[in-house]
């Protein structure tokens, strides 16, 4: 089974995402900020990361840059999932090493489609 | 008292709407799908200030406003689509035009039943990206029976949910601009596709011979005879060796002799008339 780490400071979003991902046969873990997510990836990198932008302690962007530098054996796919829907944000995320981008609010079809695009569903 | 056969749709309304839809598009509303009718027509009822479907029937039969029929057909016809639907098929389309390219011809592609335009625009993106390597850009003609779908396909404007279905983010960045919460295809993309209104069961195919015809998820609810007639028209509108692309769950087998499964392109179909007749000597 594929693993997905959901990184979001909103408990509601984590719950919704977890529910959708589990119906898509993912094993899901959660982190509520970038720092927690980085620790989780260093311990055991997931196949794919669903990543919010604005979070306390460490933002999604800071996490992404740190992840791409981190000494981990695999390259997890990163799918940004955020309300920052402007082209400038999207471009910045892709340049920083994100693989895909989901604009919130999202539904099951959107998430499934984006996971398919990164070869994960 | 007997209940109407399906939810809030009376048998009379069901008959009238089914007959209208089939007359205009060939699409049959299988009775098990009739529950959809009231859901699909609810926005139109609201727009017209009506309370019941029977009132809508009266308005239609009254014949004063010719747009009512179009609006009903548009609401009832299934227009579900997405960018790069069944993605691997698109790579096969690239292969299907190889023959035309090798012959030095500009390939011609007809996207029949293109709905709101995601299918032809996906093709256009794919070919345009490849054309940068010096390959010829095919002519892409996209048609649909629904006036509303044609208008949307021409505009190339999608909401946030539509734009995220099937379209990789890099392609969205490259080919679309954000405008008031929607995403709009840039002119350099939309100009690669010619969109026209066209009814598969009533109109002559667009002129000229096609190398590839895509007609995906359109013919599912046509009667067998209507379907066979459409296949015959496709065959006539094709170049020798032309390729037909159907939806994932669709086939020509048992429906027409005009096409057969392609030996080269798995899941696609070839016009049969171009094949050498089977040799009886070899079979004996
Ligand atoms: C389910 S959509 C499929 C869109 C696209 N080909 C795809 O596979 O994603 C079917 C489309 O076929 C169109 N259609 C139905 N009957 C038609 C007819 N008789 N002539 C032309 N288009 C028709 C509908 O208006 C609708 O937009």
Going from N- to C-terminal start, the domains of chain A cover 2-117
**Is B178 within 8 Å of A91 when comparing Cβ atoms?**
no
Are residues B118 and B69 part of one domain?
no
Cα–Cα distance, B30 to A7 (Å, whole number): 45
List CB contacts of A71: < 8 A, sequence separation 6 or more: none
Are residues B205 and B139 part of one domain?
yes
For B50, the domain range is 11-76
In degrees to the nearest 10, what's the CA dihedral of B44, B47, B50, B53? 0
Which residues of chain A have a CB within 8 Å of the CB of B177? 87
Does residue B196 form part of some domain?
A: yes
Query: A with B: how many residue pairs have Cβ under 8 Å apart?
Result: 35
Class of the domain covering A2-117: alpha beta
CATH number at residue B242: 3.40.50.150
Does residue B2 form part of some domain?
A: no
List CB contacts of B133: < 8 A, sequence separation 6 or more: none
Q: Are A55 and A27 in contact (CB under 8 A)?
A: no
List CB contacts of A69: < 8 A, sequence separation 6 or more: none
Are residues B42 and B116 part of one domain?
no
Tell me the pLDDT tens digit for each residue of B45-80. 999 999 999 999 999 999 888 899 999 999 999 899
Does residue B35 form part of some domain?
A: yes
Are residues B198 and B124 part of one domain?
yes
Tell me the pLDDT tens digit for each residue of B154-189. 999 999 999 999 999 999 999 999 999 999 999 999
Which residues of chain A have a CB within 8 Å of the CB of B182? none
Are residues B36 and B100 part of one domain?
no
**Is A110 within 8 Å of B161 when comparing Cβ atoms?**
yes
Q: In this structure, what token pair is assigned to residue A14?
A: 């984590």
Are residues B186 and B250 part of one domain?
yes
Are residues B202 and B265 part of one domain?
yes
pLDDT interval class at B283 (50, 70, 90):
very low
How many separate domains does chain B show? 2
Tell me the pLDDT tens digit for each residue of B214-235. 999 999 989 999 999 999 999 9
Are residues B191 and B67 part of one domain?
no
Are residues B179 and B104 part of one domain?
yes
Domain boundary among B28, B44, B76: B76
ipTM: 0.93
Chosen from A51, A79, A103 to mutate, greatest number of chain B CBs within 10 A: A103
CATH number at residue B60: 1.10.155
Are residues B63 and B98 part of one domain?
no
Does residue B1 form part of some domain?
A: no
How close is the Cα of B61 to the center of ligand 1, in Å? 26
In terms of Cα–Cα distance, which of B105, B11, B71, B79 is closest to B221? Answer: B79
Cα–Cα distance, A22 to B21 (Å, whole number): 40
Are residues B110 and B246 part of one domain?
yes
Q: Give pTM, 2 decimals.
A: 0.92
The answer to whether the CB of B122 is under 6 A from ligand 1 is: no
Does residue B129 form part of some domain?
A: yes
In terms of Cα–Cα distance, which of B140, B76, B78 is closest to B112? Answer: B140
């Amino acid at each position: 089974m594929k693993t997905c780490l959901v990184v979001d400071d909103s408990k509601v979003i984590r719950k919704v995402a977890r529910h959708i991902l589990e119906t898509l046969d993912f094993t899901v873990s959660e982190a509520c900020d970038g720092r927690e997510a980085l620790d989780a990836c260093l311990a055991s990198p997931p196949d794919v990361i669903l990543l919010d932008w604005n979070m306390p302690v460490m933002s999604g962007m800071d996490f992404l840059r740190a992840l791409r530098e981190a000494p981990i054996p695999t390259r997890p796919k990163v799918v940004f999932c955020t309300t920052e829907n402007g082209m400038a944000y999207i471009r910045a995320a892709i340049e920083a090493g994100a693989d895909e981008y989901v604009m919130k609010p999202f539904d099951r079809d959107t998430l499934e489609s984006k996971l398919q695009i990164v070869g994960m569903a | 008292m007997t209940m109407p056969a399906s939810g809030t749709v009376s048998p009379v309304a069901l008959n009238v709407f089914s007959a209208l839809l089939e007359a205009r598009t060939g699409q049959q509303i299988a009775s098990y799908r009739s529950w959809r009718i009231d859901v699909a027509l609810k926005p139109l009822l609201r727009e017209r200030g009506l309370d019941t479907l029977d009132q809508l029937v009266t308005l239609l039969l009254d014949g004063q406003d010719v747009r009512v029929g179009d609006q009903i057909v548009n609401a009832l016809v299934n227009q579900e689509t997405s960018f790069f639907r069944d993605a691997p098929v698109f790579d096969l389309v690239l292969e299907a035009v190889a023959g035309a390219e090798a012959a030095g011809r500009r390939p011609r592609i007809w996207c029949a039943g293109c709905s709101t335009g995601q299918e032809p625009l996906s093709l256009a993106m794919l070919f345009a990206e490849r054309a940068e390597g010096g390959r010829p850009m095919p002519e892409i003609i996209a048609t649909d029976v629904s006036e509303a779908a044609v208008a949307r396909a021409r505009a190339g404007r999608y909401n946030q949910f539509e734009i995220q279905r099937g379209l990789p983010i890099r392609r969205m960045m490259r080919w679309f601009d954000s405008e008031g919460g929607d995403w709009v295809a840039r002119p350099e993309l939309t100009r690669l596709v010619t969109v026209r209104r066209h009814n598969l069961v009533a109109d002559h195919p667009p002129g000229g011979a096609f190398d590839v015809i895509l007609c995906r998820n359109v013919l599912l609810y046509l009667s067998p005879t209507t379907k066979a007639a459409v296949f015959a028209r496709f065959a006539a509108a094709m170049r020798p060796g032309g390729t037909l692309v159907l939806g994932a769950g669709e086939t020509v087998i048992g429906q027409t002799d005009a096409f057969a499964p392609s030996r080269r392109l798995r899941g696609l179909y070839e016009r049969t008339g171009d094949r050498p007749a089977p040799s009886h000597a070899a079979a004996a």
